[in-house]
Amino acid sequence: MWCMYMSDVAFESLTPAEWFRRNKEIAGFSSPSRAMYQTVRELIENALDATENHGILPSIKASIRYVDKDKDLYSIYVEDNGIGIPEEEIPNVFGQIFYSSKYKIKQHRGIFGLGAKMVVLYAQSTSGMPVRVTSSMKGSQYIYTYEISIDTVKNKPVIHSHVRVENKYGWHGTAVKVVLEGNWQYAKSRIEEYFTRTAMITPYAEIILIEPNNEVLRFNRITTIMPKPPVEGLPHPSSIDLESLKQLISRNSDIPLIDFLKENFDGIGDETVREFMKTVGIRASKHVKRLSESELRLLAEKMRQFNGWRRPRADWLSPIGEKILANGILHVLKPEAVFVTTRKPSSYSGHPFIVEAAIAWGGSIMPVDKPILYRYANKVPLLQDEGSDVIRHVIDEVDWSQYKVKFPAPLAVVVHVCSTKIPYASAGKEAIADVPEIEKEVRLAVREVARKLKVYLARKEKEQELLTKYAILRLYTDEVSSALSFVSGVDENVIKGKLEELIKRKLGLDIRAGPPAITSEVGNVAVA
């Protein structure tokens, strides 16, 4: 029966470009407002990676302009001062799905290398206009501009124009302009929040956004200290699968298995590889390209099961750092105090990761019924799907009363996870999945900064008690000093000064000045 109806079935294949064009919702382009936000986010992330990953202090300019209000068409422009893109690579970078520099074991803001291409696909699907890309490499004599769209049938770039001009002023970087259908009314608050949260963890960046109504959102650079750039790493043996193993072998010369393992994987030394080879049952001297299919399957399985591997190295990760994070939070949230910690590296499934956490208290933070949460993954703000995020789950489980927090309270929590592979809960990259190892580190980091907050609040309580006692005792100084002056004949003001000095000394207050505010550091606390 199955064969009888085969002639009625039409089979076809889709290129990656056509598939993503039809399924743009998967990449976050589900509506005009969401598409505007996603476009800004993708272009800003690329701009930051092109600068800070190469030791350049970011200066990023963005603008959103009306093109046709009746048709809800907007132009979005983002310019950076990064290293630029090689001229011959621009068409493929913006015009071919799954062509990227992000398919390496390295900490990236992006994960799929798909963002810029999705922007192009959405733009040409809604406005019919190509993307305009202008770039110049650092030290290049020329500035080059392309207008590009994507041939979705062939998954190839279509070059509409290509111009090269002399680089008279030594500019370097990349500028991207797209015209697309959007909804500024609904996207405005989300885009502004994205810029604010980005500025909070990149206080070393200068970021400017010009909105359609010509309002300017500006974040000035407040420090020149930058995180160390991430570097490319090697795969950890416990994260390998059969197909990855085959690809590694195909890219290597025909060398002995023992040398292949030491040269292509993280944390495998002479002693470790000898112990591992005892569990495999394959000759260490056998050349890798002569391994049979069954031997490859066995090797991949044993690599995942072996418990003797060293923990994945994390020195190629790029955490924000306590000082930078504290500066950014103080500048944006303007709290009374901020407490920061960077946890030691950990790993899940062979992937290294680092968790950073901060608590901001008081100041400009309004009292709320539960902690305000700022989530970040590889320095990218996560604005949506908060309820699905492991960080939110951890924060909700904390008994804040143990840390002297009574709601409503002016409390904000910031958590950043950086890794060579962030386990996102969905393709939208807006929530981190419930991975036990990450959940544990987030919980430990939050508890650590919460304990620092508890010490700070306990000191504030103690100070308030002392100030209350001081105020009560001072109520009697006028009457007592007047009576003593009458009895002793000593000037009343002299006696009053001595009494106040005695009260301060007994209460442990600074006798050189009036009642002090808390200014001492408690752990990593910065007082605004």
Task: Give the residue ranges of the annotated binding site.
Answer: 46, 80, 101-102, 110-117, 429
In the annotated binding site for ATP, the residues are 46, 80, 101-102, 110-117, 429
Sheet arrangement for strand 206-210: 156-166, 142-151, 131-136, 173-181, 73-79, 59-68, 206-210, 216-219
| Crossing angle between the packed helical segments 436-474 and 492-507, to the nearest 10 degrees | 160
Host H or E run for residue 249:
helix 242-250
Do 80 and 51 form a contact (C-beta atoms < 8 A)? yes
- For 177-198, b/e burial (b = at least 16 CB within 10 A) is bbbbbbbbeebbebbeebbbbb
Rounded to whole angstroms, the Cα distance separating 203 from 220 reads: 8
Rounded to whole angstroms, the Cα distance separating 209 from 47 reads: 14
The conformation of residue 475, written as its DSSP 8-state character, comes to T
Question: At residue 140, what is the residue type?
Answer: S
Cα 103-105-107 angle, rounded to 5 deg = 95
Residue 340 bridge partners (DSSP): 358
- Name the phi and psi angles at 202, rounded to 5: -130, 60
| Crossing angle between the packed helical segments 32-52 and 115-126, to the nearest 10 degrees | 140
| Crossing angle between the packed helical segments 257-264 and 242-250, to the nearest 10 degrees | 100
> For residue 327, what are the CA distances in angstroms to 20, 220, 350, 379, 396?
40, 13, 32, 15, 26
